Copies of this chain bind each other. A is one copy, B any other.
Amino acid sequence: MDLVTFGETLLRLSPPGQERLERATELEFRAAGAESNVAVNAGRLGADTAWLSKLPDSPLGRKVTATLRAQGTEPDVAWSETGRQGTYYLEQAGEPRGTNVVYDRANAAVTTATPDELATERVDAAEYFYTSGITPALSETLAETTAALLERATASETTTALDVNYRAKLWEPEEAREVLETLFPDVDVLIAAERDARHVLAHEGNAGEIGRGLADEFGFETVIVTLGADGALAVHDEDVYEQPAFEADTYDAVGTGDAFVGGFLARRIEGGDVRDALEWGAATAALKRTMPGDTALVTREEVEGVLAGGGAAINR
C-alpha cells in the first residue's frame, strides 16, 4: 500500500443551485472527509491507497464505503453498533455570503476509535501515512489514537504527513496548537495554510519565514505552506520552493486543499522531487475546483495536461 490515511468521513448534504437550507426541498448527497479525500485524490493519480476509520453499521456507513470504493480507495473500517454517522450541511454561495458549513458530527462512531479496532498493520506496511488536524479535534480518544498511529508509523519507517486543517467550528486555536504540537515529533511532512500557521501555530513573517520557522522548530522533513490563490511554498532540506496556483474557474471550492495534498503525495510516492510534487499538487487542486464534490476525480493525463499548459477550451 502506498498511502494509508486515517480520519472521519462525513455525509455531505447540500442544496443544489446555491439555494438556502431553509428553503431547499432536496439535497445533494455525497460523502467526504479530509483524509479520505487525500486517499482518493492520490489514488486517482496512481497510488495504491486505503483509508482507515470506524463507521456505524448502517445504510449511512455503507454510503461512505460505497462512495470511497467507487472512487478507487479501499476503506478498511471498524463497523460499530454504536455512534452516529457524522454529516455536514453545505450551503455553497458566492461573495459576500460565502460558503457555509453546518457540522452535525458530534458523537460519530469514529470518535471512539482506538488503535486496536483499526487495521494498524496497514500503517506499518505503507510508504506514507496521512491524517489531518481535524481528527484529533474530534474527541480525546481520537487525539490519542492519532498520536498512537503516528508513533507507529514512525516506528515502522512509514513517512507521515499531517495537514493542520484548522476548523474554527471544532476547537479554539490554543487548544489546537497544544494538541498538534504533541503530534509534531512524529510528523515528517507538515502542510499548513498560511492563516493557520499564523493564528494556530503562531508563526510570523512572510510565507517563507513561516515555513522555515516551522521546519526549524519541529524538525519536519518538509513543510508546505499553502497560500490560497497565491499557490503554495515548500521548505525541504533548507530549500524553499514556490509554486503559483493555476487559474481555475471555480465550480466547487471545497476540497481544494485536499486535492493539493493528494497530488503532492501521489507524485512524491512515485519518486517525484518536491518541486515536481508541488506542481502536481497545484494542478490537481486547480482541476478539483472545476467539479462538484470534495474530491478531484481526475486522471494523470488531465494533470499532465494542466502542467503542459492546457489546450482547447473544448476538446473534441
Contacts and interface: CB of A to CB of B under 8 A. Distances in A.
Interface of A: 13, 15-30, 58-60, 62-63, 66-67, 69-72, 84-85, 87-89, 91, 93-104, 106-107, 167-169, 246-251, 253-254, 283, 286-287, 290-293, 297-298, 302, 305-306, 310-316
A27 B12 CA distance: 11
Given A26-B27, A98-B313, 13 more contacts: A18-B251, A18-B291, A22-B66, A58-B102, A60-B102, A66-B72, A94-B248, A94-B249, A95-B290, A95-B313, A96-B306, A99-B313, A100-B316
A305 to B, nearest CB: 8
A270 B63 CA distance: 26
Contacts of A315: 98-101
13 contacts: A21-B60, A23-B70, A24-B63, A26-B27, A59-B89, A59-B100, A95-B247, A96-B247, A96-B248, A96-B290, A98-B311, A98-B313, A99-B314
Contacts of A18: 251, 290-292
B297 A22 contact: yes
Nearest to A195: B312
A306 B93 CA distance: 14
Given A26-B27, A29-B25, A316-B101, A20 B95 contact: no
A107 B107 contact: yes
B107 A293 contact: no
Given A59-B91, A96-B287, A97-B290, A13 B27 contact: yes
A22 to B, nearest CB: 5
B167 A316 contact: yes
Residue of A94, A106, A316 contacting most chain B CB atoms (<10 Å): A316
- 7 nearest interchain CB pairs? A94-B249, A101-B316, A70-B70, A21-B59, A97-B290, A66-B70, A69-B69
Contacts of A16: 17, 26
Contacts of A15: 29
Nearest to A61: B22
Given A69-B70, A253-B313, A89 B60 contact: yes
B27 A27 contact: yes
